[in-house]
C-alpha cells in the first residue's frame, strides 16, 4: 500500500490532495505538447500559443489515441486522428465529422497547473485546489539566487526514494561510493546522532556528527526534501536543493530537483549558468550499466555525482523495496516515523476522518553548513 498511487487506492487518494511537479517548465515550448504518466494516469501537457500550460487526459475520448501527437491551435489541442479538439478544461469544442451537439457532450479530465521554480506543478485531486503554499521556499524565489530545475525518471518506487531522504546515515557511506565529492568530504564517514520531529509541514531531521558537523533536512509532506550541500568545491557557496519524488506508477518515479545557487556577480553567474546547463540533463538511469556493471561514477560534483550515488543504492533495492524481509535498526528512526505518518494519514482517508492540515512553516528552517575542521566555505 505504501507504493501505490492509482486514484482508487488510499495512497493515491492521499497524494492527490497535494500539488506535485509534473514537468520541467523549459521542456514545454509554446505551441507544443508532451505525454506524461503521473500517479498511474496517462496525461497530456500542452502549452498554448499564449505560453499558458494546460494538463488534460492522455487520450482522445473518440477512439482513444494519444492526444499529445495532435496540434496545438491557439489555446486548444486538436487530435491527430479525427480532429476532435479540446480546450484546457477538457471540454471538446469541435468534433468535425459529428457536429457541435456531439462535441458539447464530450469532456475529458483536466487538472489545474501552475509554474514554480522552473517546474510545472499540477493538482490532480477532487474539488478546488488548495493554495500553492506548502512547498514554497524563499531561496527558490530569491533574486539573489540562480534557480535551475532538472527532471529524471528512475526505474523504482517513489516511496523508497522518499525514505532515502529520511535516512541520514546513508550519507556517510553512499556518498563515498565511487568518487568522494564535496558532500562526502563535508559530511565525513562519522556516524551521526539522530533526531526526528514531526512539524506542521512534515519532518525535521537533524544528524549531528560533531558540534561543527550538524546536517538538517527540512522534509515536507508528502514527497519533498529541502537540504543544503556544498557547491562544486568546498570553497564555493553552498547550494539549496529541493528534491521531489513523484510516482509515475508503482515502479517508476518522476524525480525533480531544484538548485538555488547564490549569485556572485555577472561574470561568475554567467559561468555558473553555462556550467549547469551543460549538466542538467544528466540522468543516472541512462548510465545504469556504467554504475552497476563497471562501477563508473561521474566526477562532476554539483549536479551529477550525488544522484548517481543515490541511484546506485536506491535502485539496488529493486523496483519495489522488500520491506517484509528488511531488518530495521535504531538508525532507521526517520523511516519508522515516516511510515507511521503515512499509515496514519491513509487510515484517516479509509475511515472517512480528516487528515492532518499540513501547512507551510511559519519560519524558515536553518540549514547549517557541515564543515570539516580543515574545510573552508
Secondary structure (DSSP) of 176-201: GSSS--HHHHHH-SPPPEEEEEE-SS
Task: Pick one of 3.10.20.30, 2.60.40.2310, 2.102.10.10, 1.10.1740.10 as the CATH number of 17-123.
Answer: 2.102.10.10
Nearest to 226 by CA among 260, 191, 186: 260
Tens digit of each residue's pLDDT (9 = 90 or more) over 130-163: 999 999 999 999 999 999 999 999 999 999 999 9
Across the chain, what does the average pLDDT equal? 95
Q: Where are the domains of the chain?
A: 17-123, 138-351
**C-beta of residue 337 within 8 angstroms of C-beta of residue 203:** yes
> Which residues, including other chains, have CB under 8 Å from residue 77's CB and lie 6 or more apart?
33, 44, 46, 54, 56, 67, 70, 71, 85, 86
- Return the C-alpha cell found at 68: 499529445
Fold of 138-351: Naphthalene 1,2-dioxygenase Alpha Subunit; Chain A, domain 1 (3.90.380)
Do 17-123 and 138-351 share a fold? no
pLDDT of 374: 44
Secondary structure (3-state) at 123: strand
DSSP 18: S
Is the alpha carbon torsion for 272, 21, 54, 359 positive or negative? negative
pLDDT of 373: 44
Confidence band, pLDDT 50/70/90 cuts, at residue 372: low
Tens digit of each residue's pLDDT (9 = 90 or more) over 214-268: 999 999 999 999 999 999 988 899 999 999 999 999 999 999 999 999 999 999 9
Q: Contacts from 197-204 at CB under 8 Å and sequence distance 24+?
A: 198/337, 198/341, 199/361, 200/358, 200/359, 200/360, 200/361, 200/362, 201/134, 201/358, 201/359, 201/360, 201/361, 202/358, 203/166, 203/334, 203/337, 203/338, 203/341, 204/365
pLDDT of 165: 96
Amino acid at each position: 500500500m505504501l507504493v501505490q498511487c492509482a486514484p482508487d487506492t488510499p495512497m493515491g487518494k492521499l497524494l492527490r490532495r497535494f500539488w506535485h511537479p509534473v514537468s520541467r517548465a523549459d521542456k514545454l515550448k509554446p505551441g507544443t505538447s508532451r505525454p506524461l504518466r503521473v500517479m498511474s494516469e496517462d496525461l497530456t501537457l500542452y502549452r498554448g500559443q499564449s505560453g499558458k500550460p494546460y494538463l488534460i487526459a492522455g487520450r482522445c475520448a473518440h477512439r482513444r489515441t494519444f492526444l499529445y501527437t495532435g496540434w496545438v491551435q491557439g489555446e486548444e489541442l486538436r487530435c491527430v486522428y479525427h480532429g476532435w479538439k479540446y480546450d484546457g478544461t477538457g471540454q471538446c469544442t469541435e468534433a468535425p465529422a459529428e457536429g457541435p451537439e456531439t462535441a458539447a457532450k464530450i469532456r475529458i479530465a483536466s487538472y489545474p497547473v501552475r509554474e514554480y521554480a522552473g517546474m510545472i506543478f499540477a493538482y490532480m485531486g477532487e474539488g478546488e485546489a488548495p493554495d500553492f503554499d506548502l512547498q514554497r521556499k524563499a531561496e527558490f524565489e530569491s533574486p539573489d539566487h540562480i534557480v535551475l530545475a532538472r527532471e529524471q525518471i528512475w526505474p523504482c518506487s517513489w516511496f523508497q526514494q522518499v525514505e532515502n531522504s529520511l535516512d541520514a546515515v546513508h550519507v556517510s557511506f553512499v556518498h563515498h561510493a565511487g568518487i568522494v565529492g564535496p558532500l562526502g568530504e563535508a559530511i565525513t564517514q562519522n556516524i551521526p546522532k539522530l533526531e526526528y520531529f514531526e512539524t506542521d509541514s512534515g519532518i525535521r531531521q537533524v544528524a549531528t556528527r560533531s558540534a561543527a558537523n550538524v546536517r538538517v533536512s527540512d522534509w515536507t509532506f508528502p514527497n519533498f526534501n529541502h537540504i543544503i550541500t556544498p557547491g562544486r568545491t568546498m570553497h564555493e557557496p553552498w547550494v539549496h536543493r529541493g528534491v521531489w519524488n513523484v510516482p509515475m506508477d508503482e515502479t517508476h518515479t518522476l524525480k525533480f530537483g531544484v538548485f538555488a545557487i547564490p549569485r556572485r556577480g555577472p561574470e561568475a553567474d554567467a559561468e555558473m549558468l553555462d556550467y549547469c546547463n551543460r549538466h542538467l540533463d544528466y540522468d543516472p538511469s541512462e548510465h545504469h550499466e556504467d554504475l552497476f556493471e563497471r562501477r563508473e561514477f561521474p566526477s562532476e560534483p554539483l549536479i551529477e555525482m550525488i544522484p548517481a550515488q543515490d541511484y546506485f543504492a536506491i535502485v539496488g533495492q529493486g523496483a519495489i523495496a522488500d520491506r517484509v524481509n528488511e531488518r530495521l535498526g535504531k538508525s532507521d528512526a526517520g523511516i519508522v516515523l515516516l511510515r507511521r505518518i503515512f499509515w496514519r494519514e491513509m487510515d484517516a482517508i479509509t475511515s472517512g476522518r480528516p487528515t492532518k492540515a499540513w501547512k507551510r512553516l511559519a519560519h524558515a528552517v536553518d540549514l547549517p553548513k557541515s564543515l570539516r575542521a580543515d574545510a573552508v566555505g
